[in-house]
Chain A
Amino acid sequence: GQQLNQSPQSMFIQEGEDVSMNCTSSSIFNTWLWYKQDPGEGPVLLIALYKAGELTSNGRLTAQFGITRKDSFLNISASIPSDVGIYFCAGAGGSGGSNYKLTFGKGTLLTVNP
């Protein structure tokens, strides 16, 4: 089945620093999504990407859908304490998979020191 490799597994940064995390896949996806999950909560959608090469921003967040459709990155600029949480990438569709069924990365735990 489709698998996603998400890195890094965890990050410890100072407030104000920029952050970058990425996901790679062994197969192609039609859609890449980035979610943030706070403890005890469901994931919240941050950015959705639908086209290869697409670069999309949401406030301090920027994400790109790789040209090969097998990778995506998420950047967070000027981090603040409330950015703390687990960030998940997810892919949907492609390689015969349903556009509804998501494959999740293992998550990146972000800690921001004030």
Chain B
Amino acid sequence: GAVVSQHPSWVICKSGTSVKIECRSLDFQATTMFWYRQFPKQSLMLMATSNEGSKATYEQGVEKDKFLINHASLTLSTLTVTSAHPEDSSFYICSASSRAGTGELFFGEGSRLTVL
């Protein structure tokens, strides 16, 4: 299947700092990528849809100023957690589709964020 890679795999930061997570599609171009958040023993919750060259679309209840998304190229989307707090600690996962309109999404390895 298509390969989606995230970096970093895990990050620990101090409260109040900002953290950037990268999501790359390695062997295909993705005009649309998705960012999910997953708490322990829970399912994946969609945070936002990242569109190449335009603003991201955020799900209800997700603060766009808190979770900045940039999709500057067809192979890279970034999620920046600004002024992180302990409650932002979570597993963040991105996904992308290699075939338009199929719903067949491939996921990155995930990034574990721990805010102290």
Q: Kindly list the 6 A-B residue pairs having the minimum CB-CB distance in the complex, ordered from nearest.
A: A92-B103, A31-B103, A42-B107, A42-B110, A104-B43, A99-B101
Given contacts A42-B93, A45-B106, contact A105 B34 (CB under 8 A): no
Residues of A within 8 A of B108 (CB): 42
Which has the most chain A C-beta neighbours within 10 Å: B43, B46, B110? B43
Within 9-64 of A, Cβ neighbours of B (below 8 Å) are at: 30-31, 33, 35, 40-45, 48, 50
Kindly identify which residue among A40, A45, A92, A107 contacts B1, using a CB–CB cutoff of 8 Å.
Answer: A45
Kindly identify which residue among A31, A35, A100 contacts B34, using a CB–CB cutoff of 8 Å.
Answer: A100
Contact indicator A42/B109 (Cβ below 8 Å): yes
A112 at the interface (CB under 8 A from B): no
Chain A contact residues: helix, strand, loop or mixed: loop
Given contacts A42-B93, A88-B44, A101-B34, contact A31 B107 (CB under 8 A): no
What are the interface flags for A92-114 relative to B under an 8 Å C-beta threshold, 1 for contact and 0 otherwise?
Answer: 11000001111011110000000
Chain B contact residues: helix, strand, loop or mixed: strand
Contact indicator B103/A33 (Cβ below 8 Å): yes
B68 at the interface (CB under 8 A from A): no
CA distance A104 to B105 in the complex (A): 12
Residues of A within 8 A of B106 (CB): 45
Residues of A within 8 A of B6 (CB): 42
Nearest A-chain residue to B108, judged by Cβ: A42
CA distance A35 to B91 in the complex (A): 17
Residues of B within 8 A of A107 (CB): 43
B25 at the interface (CB under 8 A from A): no
Kindly identify which residue among B42, B91, B101 contacts A100, using a CB–CB cutoff of 8 Å.
Answer: B101
